[in-house]
Structure 1
Amino acid sequence: MKKLFKSGLVKLGLVVVIAGGAVAYWLMPPVAKVESAEIDNGVKVKFKTNGTRIEQFQNQSWKPYFAKGVNMGAAVPGHFPGELEISKDDYMRWFEMVQEMGANVIRVYTILKPEFYEALVRYNAKHSDNPLFFIQGVWSPEEQLIEVQNAFDPKVKQKFEKEIREAVEAVYGNIDLEAEAHSGKASGKYVFNAGPYLMSWIVGTEWDPVMVDRTNKSNADVADYKGEHFQSKPGANPFEKWLAEMVDITAVTEAEHGWQHPIAFSNWVTTDPLEHPGEPLVAEDMVSVDPTHIAAVDWDAGYFASYHVYPYYPDFFTFDQSFQTMKNDKGEIDSYKTYLHKLKKYHNDMPIMITEFGVPASQGIAHTGMLGRNQGGHDDKTQGNMDADMFRQIHQEGYSGAILFTWQDEWFKKTWNTMHYDIPDRRAYWYNTLTNESHFGVLGMYPSKDDVIRIDGDASDWDKLDDGDKTKLDLQIEGFNEIWAAHDEGYLYLSINLSESLEFSNHSIYLGFDTLKGGNRHAPQLQGKTLDEGLETLIELDNEDAGQMMIASNYDFHTRFYGKLSKILAYDPQELEDDSGIFNPWKLVVNYLLEHPDARVDHPFGDIRVGDLPRGTSDPQDPNYNSKAIWQAKGNVLEIRIPWMLLGFSDPSSLSAISYEDTGTKEFESVKVEGVRLVPWIVRKDSKEVVGLEGNNPYPVSQLPLYTWKRWEDIDVDYVERPKQSYDIMQKAMREVNQPVNQPISE
């Protein structure tokens, strides 16, 4: 007995020793092992600029470096970025996936919570032969800049300078940031020194041109800035002098830690130094923020230019003939390639990186671009092909880096052409396929039933759902044997078993949806039938390849907002009357009407259909997988998933739908609804006979069963994380590229 007890003590002691070692490992920061060069007084440099390129110190020599990277946001589904809910385990998993894709750097926009820097240090300690580097951004006080319209305002300067110093200290693990109520800022004790894994600094955010212009006019007499490490050049405008000081503060603060890294400020096409003669909007070509007007002095790591360049915005990418002069590798006239060439040529004596580019994979579209490079409307595969093409073009033009926007999808994002239709403080709780900004990622964040219900015309996967996760709709309508409904953060799902196989040569199937009092009780699609309660939206499936979602004309957000409220879009007032009998295509605006003096030339209002419903399979294991697939039919089985906003929901998590009532302002009111009623019928094309809707006239829609669900909150949000097809395509493109294009160094 004693022997056993003694053995137990020995074993227990061993466990304690091992556990203590594990605790020590996770509490004690690993020492970064990064090869670097030393300059005066032992200052370390890992990356530096040399003429028009960036170089990395590797194997005891300086080698050309091309930054292949991804931007990484701060949010996961169910949360807003200020909540900083990404865990250390998430980061460790993501870092491995990022490197597996072929990237060598990630970019973050602002100070993240301590777990990010800890995870990066720990990850690189395990990958010391091939560390993952990062670009640290410093967030400028955007709201205050817009509010006061003057970057030299003492409160603005003080806040930005504080942010810069805190960012440097956070990177070097040397600060304890106190939590600030409602600030959305990271806080905590930063003890992990990630500085050796830093590739560069990028200071600031995209600059509002009106703010820059007013800053320049309000501070016309400000002196040139001459700092310890950076200065403005003669001819710099006041805003550029202000930026020179902000960049210098970054350098001065970092120098205290014995390191130097290349520094840039954030910039975008709107405030670039090029002329865009075909740009219709005056503000998009109003003022320049020119990186060549700032110079590094006594900063061996150097200085470079950073730009966000997307292919669809501003509009000159589509309309300006002076940017349609070059052909891409496919022999197509390509404004994106032309722009890259001109921008690189302008910065002929310094390195330049494109630190944001990409297109989103989404149902919604916000801008159209040349060669179909629209801001949205793409499936995952098309997204990948377009992103890879732009990545290759950036490399071919001799840039020093291409940082894709973005790594992960972020549900909280808003888009200018859907933000009037949703509830801002609940955006993070649901997956809105019409808000393209949420879907730029190559790591998809799909709604929770994505890995259970596959839209493929095979209803057997519905058997995997618990009884509480699906509802049988007792409709008892001719032509429909059985209908099941389910939902998640992204869609309303329907599994419909028909009485006979669908033959689209002679069948059109209609699915009407009633959510509110009002809508269409009659319509041509009803073939003379009348309903006792109106429909807000209607799905029509009448051909082999695609269907469409339509919206009752008096409920149509697009017509109401841009016609009745904004007086931009022509419309017939009778269409806004109850029971108009008209269903309109579901549309989103893609550009406003622009007129003098806001525009150089009159630019027409533009909109685009977004209610087209592709047929296909949502099973990622299927060779014919289409991320945008909405429905599939096989035999007498029809499966369909319907995006919430297409049904009129401003927030499905709180059962909120857009109201019929206008507030008198350019905002829509949301109202709570009980759920959704489904009204299905079939029309035989040859005889126009309606199958379903038999019996009473009007047909008693109000007596049909209601599909409803419980309100959900952030803690209830679930999601499926899965690399998109675009991940694999970008992996191929990134692995093709190891170094910059061989170009002479201009000293």
Structure 2
Amino acid sequence: MGLLAVVVASAGFLTWYWQPPPVESMQTTDGVKLKFRTQGDQIEIYQNQKWQPFFAKGMNLGASLPGHYPGELPMTKEDYMRWFSMMDEMGVNVIRIYTIHSPVFYEALVDFNRKKQGEPLYFMQGIWSPEEKLAEKKDAYLPEIRQEFHQEIADAVGAVYGKITIPEKPGKASGTYRANAGPYLLGWHTGTEWDPLMVQKTNKLHQKDALPPGTHFQGTKQATPFEKWLAEMVDDVATQESKYNWQHPMTFTNWVTTDPLSHPGEPILQEDLVSVDPTHIQATNWQAGYFASYHVYPYYPDFFRYDKTLQTVKSKNGQIDTYKAYLQKLKAYHKNMPVMVTEFGVPASWGTAHLGNLGRDQGGHSEKEQGQIDADLLKEIHEEGYAGAILFVWQDEWFKKTWNTMKYELPEDRRAFWINVLTNESLFGVLGMYPGKEDELAIDGDASDWDKLKPEEKQRLDIQMPGVKEMWMTHDEGYVYIMTKLDHAFNPAAETLYLGVDTLPGGNRHAAELGGHTLDEGLDTLIELGNDKESGVRIASNYDFFTRLYGKRYRMVQVPLQEQQDNSGIFNPWKLAVGLEMEPPDSKTYHPLEAVNAGQLVRGTSNPNDPAYNSLTAWQAKGDTVEMRIPWMLLGFTDPSSLQVMSYQDAGKAFRSETTKGIRLLPWIVERKSKSVIGLGPDTAVVPVSKLPRYTWQPWEQVNYVERKKQSFGIMQKALGEISPTQTKK
């Protein structure tokens, strides 16, 4: 059916609601309105009475704030309005949401666009699949799964067009939706990342099952049973939207793990087990069209490092660039079809979870490094002719978990009440959600900001040690802060400052770092400040989370018997695994366990107004003042909001936590030249750690946080500004 006329699409709100400015669209002879469509390998926008290419410069938007979980949907209309303005400032033209948000999201978007000069801020509506049931049952054809997904589709379409009231349900958005955001929709994004074992089993169980052809979308002859099921869901979205006389481009969520390409260099069989192929679904009566979308990160799966078939393409700097090579292969497979990368990016976090080519790791980046990598990935996606690139993610999300820290976060249901900077998944945002003292205390060697803290916000430790004049402590949702005044200017070239940390009975009562001294109570962790490479936090060997998990339980590393003993005298580097041991039959070839030192402490400044600002700063010394901030987990905490630390008890498969009475600090200095220990008295004396004061605090149920643009915001702003929204080709 031909497209004949240009119309103005009014939002059609109830009389009590505002009328937004007219949204230019094209109307077919049967009254269907189009604003976006697919054409060849591009997405097009109807603008200035003609169709022209459109590149989605996008931003994924999460559904949570610190202290909350996604299903609580705590954002207000004011939050959304503020964020939309910031996104527009950054150069974003499309927001992607994963699921139905509360009514205020759609109200805020319409209101923002009503007031905005120039092109509106568009959005992509995600439709959440019954992810947990799919993973558990591993059969997409089960009636309860299909029914739940169809209901979610109907709710999502009703929410976008402001024609539904969704009843309250735990973990879901609800309320009365009356804002018609449909004219600002770019497209529908159906489903979530697909579990390959679920896809494989669904295909096996339903090889002979036939599904009726859809009205607008259906599987091709090559479609697998799962792809036919997926075509049914996409068709339902189209059918539901047709009721409102609109059509928007359709896609479904996909990721590298279930892409249609072969990856001979992928070591893990499950990561190349099965495909979900967008070319096996076709539009039969949908003029807005259909496109492919993928989540593509540069560090996962492992073939980005190991697959030699991707090591043939070089970056502009002449380095092997497997991400660019993958983009080229993926684009080439989807001939005459738009492809969009709907998730990409790296986090600005202390912790790391995977290693990537060209240093594009999953974590371990400062905010500046995050911005530089994200900008490079954006440029590569655009250069390879993709239809859009949607960065993950707008705001930091404290509740997130990741594979290499989740077993250490206990209780699991309190992750949202503190920010574990070792969990990279929490820190992908370009809008930082910093712990509460971010704007009060800067780690820069200047103690004047400590004087401004309220008396109840800090504690002076009554420690009488030679070389140490005074010590102060405080904390927030992310760090323990320590300020030490020495009786001389600290000189790391000539001396090393140690702070022993005691939170539980046990640990090391002697150690090489203590010289000949013995303690009456053991140290669980040890902070060492000296030269850049040696500054860090180490952990008592029998307390060491890493060796207990990957040595005792998984037997992926050898742990000497001496290190397993209480009071071993050994402090290990604080490690995070970044790659598990892989061996046949689960993998094609053997790969040993990989780990990084997560306990390294960076010297610098955490003052964001300082040109030398480094978001990974842990300590600084100027004159006799030494300041530091230490992430909670490096000191053994599994949940500081409820005073939980990792227990030494190690029976069974799971770790256990205990309630601490507080933190004791034991400071001492070792002179490099003489090796003499200053501050602990005669070598033969037993140091009474048990008599030292404890730093204590009350459990918390409410969080304080600081919202601020990261350094990566400005870097991405510049990169987005260099890309025209109508420039989609190389």
TM-score by length of 2: 0.97
How far off its partner does 1:306 sit? 0.5
Deviations 1:71-92 (A, max 9, x none): 0000010111111101110000
Q: Specify the alignment match of 2:470 in structure 1.
A: 482
Q: Specify the alignment match of 2:96 in structure 1.
A: 107
Structure 2 residue 368 is matched with structure 1 residue 381: yes
Counterpart CA distance in 1 for 2:718 and 2:334 is 29
In the alignment, which of 445, 466, 485 is matched to residue 433 of structure 2?
Answer: 445
Q: Specify the alignment match of 1:121 in structure 2.
A: 110
How many percent identity over aligned positions? 58
How far off its partner does 1:26 sit? 12
In the alignment, which of 285, 301, 319 is matched to residue 314 of structure 1?
Answer: 301
How far off its partner does 1:107 sit? 0.3
Deviations 1:486-519 (A, max 9, x none): 1000000011111101112210010110000000
Counterpart CA distance in 1 for 2:16 and 2:588 is 61
In the alignment, which of 290, 295, 300 is matched to residue 303 of structure 1?
Answer: 290
How far off its partner does 1:222 sit? 2.2
How far off its partner does 1:33 sit? 2.4
In the alignment, which of 350, 357, 364 is matched to residue 370 of structure 1?
Answer: 357
Counterpart CA distance in 1 for 2:728 and 2:168 is 48
In the alignment, which of 649, 652, 668 is matched to residue 661 of structure 1?
Answer: 649
Which deviates further from its counterpart, 594-603 or 717-726?
594-603
- Cα 1:280/1:409, change in 2 over 3 Å: same
Structure 2 residue 329 is matched with structure 1 residue 348: no
Counterpart CA distance in 1 for 2:335 and 2:250 is 18
Deviations 1:633-669 (A, max 9, x none): 011110000000000000000000000001311x110
Q: What secondary structure does 1:250 align onto?
A: helix
Q: Specify the alignment match of 2:721 in structure 1.
A: 735
Structure 2 residue 40 is matched with structure 1 residue 54: no
Q: What secondary structure does 1:200 align onto?
A: strand
Matches within 5 A, 1:170-185: 170-180=159-169, 183-185=170-172
In the alignment, which of 513, 524, 528 is matched to residue 536 of structure 1?
Answer: 524
Matches within 5 A, 1:356-505: 356-422=343-409, 423-505=411-493
Counterpart AA for 1:427: R
Counterpart CA distance in 2 for 1:97 and 1:387 is 18
Aligned partners of 1:74 and 1:86 also within 8 Å:
yes
Aligned partners of 2:196 and 2:274 also within 8 Å:
yes
Counterpart CA distance in 1 for 2:348 and 2:495 is 31
Structure 2 residue 223 is matched with structure 1 residue 244: no
Q: Specify the alignment match of 2:708 in structure 1.
A: 722
Aligned partners of 2:353 and 2:424 also within 8 Å:
yes
Structure 2 residue 301 is matched with structure 1 residue 293: no
Aligned partners of 2:386 and 2:728 also within 8 Å:
no
Counterpart CA distance in 2 for 1:573 and 1:347 is 55
Q: Specify the alignment match of 2:10 in structure 1.
A: none
How far off its partner does 1:569 sit? 1.4
Aligned partners of 2:42 and 2:728 also within 8 Å:
no
Counterpart CA distance in 1 for 2:241 and 2:150 is 13
How far off its partner does 1:546 sit? 6.0
Deviations 1:651-706 (A, max 9, x none): 000000000001311x1101101110011100011111111112682100000000
Counterpart CA distance in 2 for 1:388 and 1:105 is 17
Counterpart CA distance in 2 for 1:599 and 1:106 is 38
Q: Specify the alignment match of 2:173 in structure 1.
A: 186
Q: Specify the alignment match of 1:70 in structure 2.
A: 59
Counterpart AA for 1:165: A
Q: What secondary structure does 2:647 align onto?
A: strand
Aligned partners of 1:509 and 1:540 also within 8 Å:
yes
Deviations 1:531-579 (A, max 9, x none): 1100000011121566111000010010001111222211112211110
Aligned partners of 1:225 and 1:241 also within 8 Å:
no
In the alignment, which of 182, 186, 191 is matched to residue 199 of structure 1?
Answer: 186
Aligned partners of 1:30 and 1:121 also within 8 Å:
no
Counterpart CA distance in 2 for 1:284 and 1:262 is 29
Q: Specify the alignment match of 2:209 in structure 1.
A: 222
Q: Specify the alignment match of 1:604 in structure 2.
A: 592
Counterpart CA distance in 1 for 2:123 and 2:572 is 48
Counterpart CA distance in 2 for 1:26 and 1:706 is 63
Counterpart CA distance in 2 for 1:27 and 1:490 is 45
Q: Specify the alignment match of 1:559 in structure 2.
A: 547
How far off its partner does 1:452 sit? 0.7
In the alignment, which of 96, 119, 139 is matched to residue 85 of structure 2?
Answer: 96
How far off its partner does 1:591 sit? 1.2
Q: What secondary structure does 1:239 align onto?
A: helix
Q: What secondary structure does 2:433 align onto?
A: strand
Counterpart CA distance in 1 for 2:76 and 2:679 is 52
Counterpart CA distance in 2 for 1:595 and 1:346 is 31
Counterpart AA for 2:616: K
Q: Specify the alignment match of 1:4 in structure 2.
A: none
Counterpart AA for 1:319: Y
Counterpart CA distance in 2 for 1:338 and 1:366 is 23
Q: Specify the alignment match of 1:592 in structure 2.
A: 580
Aligned partners of 1:547 and 1:613 also within 8 Å:
yes
Q: Specify the alignment match of 1:133 in structure 2.
A: 122
How far off its partner does 1:41 sit? 1.9
Aligned partners of 1:396 and 1:741 also within 8 Å:
no
How far off its partner does 1:31 sit? 3.4
Counterpart AA for 1:664: G
Deviations 1:15-55 (A, max 9, x none): xxxxxxxxx99962433521111113211110000010000
Aligned partners of 1:34 and 1:128 also within 8 Å:
no
Q: Specify the alignment match of 1:635 in structure 2.
A: 623
Counterpart CA distance in 2 for 1:553 and 1:466 is 38
Counterpart AA for 2:457: D
Counterpart AA for 1:191: R
Counterpart CA distance in 2 for 1:673 and 1:590 is 29
Counterpart AA for 1:721: E
Q: What secondary structure does 2:482 align onto?
A: strand
Q: Specify the alignment match of 2:197 in structure 1.
A: 210
- Cα 1:624/1:225, change in 2 over 3 Å: farther
Counterpart AA for 1:376: G
Matches within 5 A, 1:147-162: 147-162=136-151
Counterpart CA distance in 2 for 1:29 and 1:117 is 13
Counterpart AA for 2:240: T
Structure 2: segments with no counterpart, 5+ residues? 1-12
Deviations 1:419-453 (A, max 9, x none): 00002110000010100000000000000100010
Aligned partners of 1:328 and 1:337 also within 8 Å:
yes
Aligned partners of 1:224 and 1:234 also within 8 Å:
no
Counterpart AA for 1:555: Y
Structure 2 residue 128 is matched with structure 1 residue 142: no
Q: Specify the alignment match of 2:23 in structure 1.
A: 34
How far off its partner does 1:223 sit? 2.5
How far off its partner does 1:741 sit? 4.9
Aligned partners of 1:493 and 1:639 also within 8 Å:
yes
Counterpart AA for 1:185: K
Aligned partners of 1:33 and 1:125 also within 8 Å:
no
How far off its partner does 1:719 sit? 0.4
Counterpart CA distance in 2 for 1:25 and 1:475 is 68
Q: What secondary structure does 1:661 align onto?
A: coil
Q: What secondary structure does 2:105 align onto?
A: helix
